[in-house]
Structure 1
Amino acid sequence: MQSVPTPGSSRVRLEYYRYEVTFGIYVMTASEKWVTNTIVLTVLILLLWALVLYFPSLLYTKLSRLVWLLTGHNSQGVSTVLRILDKYDNPSTPIAIAKHAIAS
């Protein structure tokens, strides 16, 4: 008796089939497929590792540059944005008083 495939396994099989047909892997022998899939999987794992390792520092650097472009403050980074946002949330600042006067 054959087991009925679950929707998740059917989806995985379909995506693997699309991968094989798109890149021509379906015409390879089993050992060639194994080598090719190992190389592809290794490259994807290394890309994911690089993303996790380097993306946070890159994101912080880019946000710091964005803060400098928007505010003109040097080398304070993202903490400058947090202080600027505090100005808008503090009800005693002139900006907040003007916002409240406009709203009412």
Structure 2
Amino acid sequence: MEYLTKQPENLNAVQRFGRWLRLKQYQIEVTFGVYMFTSAERFIFWSVVFLLCSLLTIAVVLYLPQHLLFIISRAWFYVNGGDSSVASNVVAGNKDALSLATSSIAKTMAAAATETAEYMNREL
């Protein structure tokens, strides 16, 4: 059994991560009895697990920074009794960066639409 053999500890990070993932897969298969499923059932099970992990990862990437800023600003308020200039500057800076990014995207899209319209007029 591959999981019980002792491997050299001088593996690089990618190999150690792959070994850790194989170990977790083995533990899940033994814990939930996945090894007894048919191949179709196993495919459905691992598809659902992959889907749930993907959704969790996307949610963490999208919403965790905003949530942490909110918690930090609340903690600052509870500790210091007022609005923090540091926390409000960080939040305001993030809002400004977001508005700049969306405005630059809108300008880029408008320029592309104008260029496409000019090209279409030349072709007609």
Q: Shorter-chain TM-score: what band?
A: 0.5 to 0.7
Q: Distance in 2 between matches of 1:36 and 1:24?
A: 11
1:36 aligns with: 45
Number of residue equivalences: 76
Match for 2:44: what amino acid? V
Q: Structure 2 length normalisation: TM-score?
A: 0.52
Matched residues, percent identical?
33
Unpaired runs of 5+ residues, structure 1, are 81-104
Unpaired runs of 5+ residues, structure 2, are 1-6, 90-124
Match for 1:64: what amino acid? S
1:25 aligns with: 34
Q: Secondary structure of the equivalent of 1:74?
A: coil
Considering only aligned residues, what root-mean-square deviation do their CA atoms show, in Å? 2.6
Structure whose CA Rg is larger = 1
Q: Distance in 1 between matches of 2:60 and 2:28?
A: 23
Superposition map of 1:5-24 within 5 A: 8=15, 10-24=19-33
- Relative distance call for 1:76 and 1:37 in structure 2 (3 A) is same
Q: Structure 1 length normalisation: TM-score?
A: 0.61
